[in-house]
Each structure stands twice: as structure tokens, then as C-alpha cells.
Structure 1
Amino acid sequence: MKYTQNNLDKLENILGESDYIVRYERGTFQSGWCLLESKKVVVLNKYLDMEGRINTLLDLIPQVTINYDKLTHESQLLYDEIVKNAKSVDNA
């Protein structure tokens, strides 16, 4: 995946369409992100560059509960690709 604002927006949309709120805040996050599961809020370190933000969301999305039926067709295709890539990395 290329590190562009458009691709970052697509990843944020997957979370947004599943009722997650994505916020960029400063803080001392060990992994670059913090998940407030009960409130469905994803907090990313605002000092991450574009590559860091995209890589963090690519790591995070397979770990959270995504409501697949709420996703647009484009988001479903991207989500399927992300999950597939995450599984192939786990199996490697």
C-alpha cells in the first residue's frame, strides 16, 4: 500500500464505518496507538508520519471488531485485503 493521504483516509473510513472514532493525540504510546474499546475510540500518536499512521492502522484494523455489513463495498474489499495480509504475516 502506498503511503498517501488518500489511503490513510480509506483506512480511517473502515474504522469510521464501524462506529469507531479515530483521534490523533500526543502521548507516550508504546505502540503508537491506544484503543478505548468500550467507547470505540482509536487514539493514534499525532507525531507519527504518514507511513507510521498507515502502518499502525494496518496493524490495528485486524485486531478490532469491525462490523463488515456496515462497510461500503470499497471498504469491504480493502478490509478483506488487510485481513488476508495480516494472516499471511502471522503464518510466515
Structure 2
Amino acid sequence: MTVKYTKNFLDKLENLFASSEFILRYEKGSFKSGYCILKENKVVIINKYYTIEGKINTLIDIIKELQFNPKDFQEKKNQDFLGELQQTELKL
């Protein structure tokens, strides 16, 4: 799968998080993006000042690190999209 650095592609990634047990938040600050667990709530925090390309690359890295399973998603389009993402390697 080719990663497209567009708002539409970012929306698809955000939809994956919306369908998962993780909460995706964009916060301002001078911190490195990543994910954390706060008080048993699974929260992913992304720097809101990142470019679209930075947000997309970070979300893909986090999805791979969290090892989302396509079978955990009810919607077929999310399952297919995640399956394609898991086969994608970012070339930085």
C-alpha cells in the first residue's frame, strides 16, 4: 500500500482509532508523539502542530507498535485498511 499524505488518508487512520479501544487526542506542546495509558484509559496523544505527513507517519508507527488485529474491528473497511497498513513500510 502506498501511503498518501492527504487529509482523507488521515481521516481513515483516525477512524481506526475511533473504532478501537484507544482514544486519539491532538494536544499542543513541544513533546514527542506517542501513546500512553492514563488511569486505565488507553490514550494516544499526537502533537497538534505536526504536519499532516508527521501525523500520518506517527499514527502508522503507533498502529504497528500496538499490534492492532483486523479481527478486532467490526467494519470490513477498517479490517481491510488495517490489513493493508500492516504490510506497509515507511521509508523515511
Q: TM-score, normalized by length of structure 1?
A: 0.78
User: Which deviates more from structure 2 when the two are superposed, residues 59-68 or residues 6-15?
Assistant: 59-68
* Native 8 Å contact 1:14 1:71 kept in 2: no
User: Which deviates more from structure 2 when the two are superposed, residues 48-57 or residues 11-20?
Assistant: 11-20
Q: What one-letter code is carried by the residue in structure 1 that aligns with 2:30? A: T
Is 1:84 aligned to 2:84, yes or no?
Answer: no
Long gaps (5+) in structure 2: none
CA-to-partner distance for each residue in 1:35-62, whole Å, 9 max, x for gaps? 2273111000111010000010111101
The sequence identity of aligned pairs, in percent, is: 41
Normalized per residue, the structure richer in helix is 1
Aligned match of 1:18 in 20, 24, 37? 20
Instruction: Supply the RMSD in Å over aligned alpha carbons.
Output: 2.0
- Residue 72 of structure 2 corresponds to 69
State the aligned residue count. 86
Long gaps (5+) in structure 1: none
* Native 8 Å contact 2:35 2:62 kept in 1: no
- Residue 48 of structure 2 corresponds to 46
